[in-house]
Structure 1
């Protein structure tokens, strides 16, 4: 590998369940919409929605409550209710604000890569900080959402960096697959759902205590793993 391939130049963060505990707030909005339709949201249906984009989530919700509603109507209702909740402020995941500040202080580039749509992300950035990221990729700004690699490929394009110089922090199976498919190593901190072990993934129980040196170590180990796989192949 060329020398630059071993350098960590950027950290790409997922939002829901990784930086913020917004999955819990998103659940409240989903439950409210399900109740409006006269149904209830089961835990299994909610788990299936984690990491999905708006339209896949709405399809699962309609199936769960057995309602034949227009997806656009449900989307507006869900967005409005979620926005009202988000405006009260988003709770950070433990260790997330400290790590984000440390990454910025170290001079590393940052990107927010989320399946959530721009309208809601702009509200979330009031909590996360509009100047915390060099690039922001939202679910409605790419041709295909996670688990497709398109969101992370777009982030690489905006940062003008190769995958080998970046590290992703994710919490879901869907987001992790998206990043690995884009060729980027992932530090996985599972939240709502377990993430199966796979090449390109490094696991941590929490972001508490994770610092830039730790990210560089993880990045280096994932690059070494990838190089080993390529040599074996």
Structure 2
């Protein structure tokens, strides 16, 4: 009998770690350093975006740097905050990930943050958390495009439709749905709609592999009856 889910694909920022406030701080400081203004709502509007998209928005707000430099500045500032202030884990994320790994289920980290930051976060987890990482600097099209999730499934050798993806943002959830995964939205800073395309869990706290198996079995295509 096929084990379900075939893999569990985790978003990072806002899903495993609460780094969005760190990103907002980095954005605010950078825009202010160029004499512009940046509000909390401006930061919320970028949640879930690819870094190239966010960098272009910062350019439009007066940051006179090229896209690559803006991304490097933001990433450097966020990684510095992680080193200074520690990693703010989202409730239940590490516990769920540990249970999945102990059961031998394949996992991937699928993030629009760049690889160096993704590896930094993964290194803080006190067990081997992921089989692979698909990062924002390794895909051509950022979320909400499905490329990152399709790439993860392909590299893991599994069907996206038999895999669970866990996301916190509108763009990330759209990417997971477009890739055909069994998508779970765990709202954090941005509300997520209730639709038939995905499942909403208010939190990962208390969730286990058994919950993922039950959801995967529920969402699996039904074989036609003879």
Per the TM superposition, whether the score is higher than 0.5 is yes
| CA distance, structure 2, for counterparts of residue 180 and residue 71 of structure 1 | 28
| CA distance, structure 1, for counterparts of residue 165 and residue 137 of structure 2 | 20
Tell me which protein shows more helix as a share of its residues.
1
| 1:178 matches 2:189 | no
Question: Aligned to 2:66, which of 55, 67, 70?
Answer: 70
| CA distance, structure 2, for counterparts of residue 214 and residue 9 of structure 1 | 14
Task: Provide the residue aligned with 1:100 in structure 2.
Answer: 97
2:199 aligns to what SS in structure 1? strand
Unaligned segments of structure 2, at least 5 residues: none
TM alignment of 1:1-233, pairs within 5 A: 4=2, 7-63=4-60, 65-88=61-84, 89-128=86-125, 131-223=128-220
Check the 8 A contact 1:41/1:61 in 2, yes or no. Answer: no
| CA distance, structure 2, for counterparts of residue 128 and residue 153 of structure 1 | 25
Residue-pair matches, total: 223
Unaligned segments of structure 1, at least 5 residues: 229-233
Check the 8 A contact 1:37/1:67 in 2, yes or no. Answer: yes
Deviations, residues 4-26 of structure 1 (Å, cap 9, x unaligned)? 4x731211100000000011211
| CA distance, structure 2, for counterparts of residue 87 and residue 204 of structure 1 | 30
| CA distance, structure 1, for counterparts of residue 97 and residue 174 of structure 2 | 22
2:65 aligns to what SS in structure 1? coil
TM-score (norm 1): 0.88
Deviations, residues 207-226 of structure 1 (Å, cap 9, x unaligned)? 111011111112222335xx
2:108 aligns to what SS in structure 1? strand
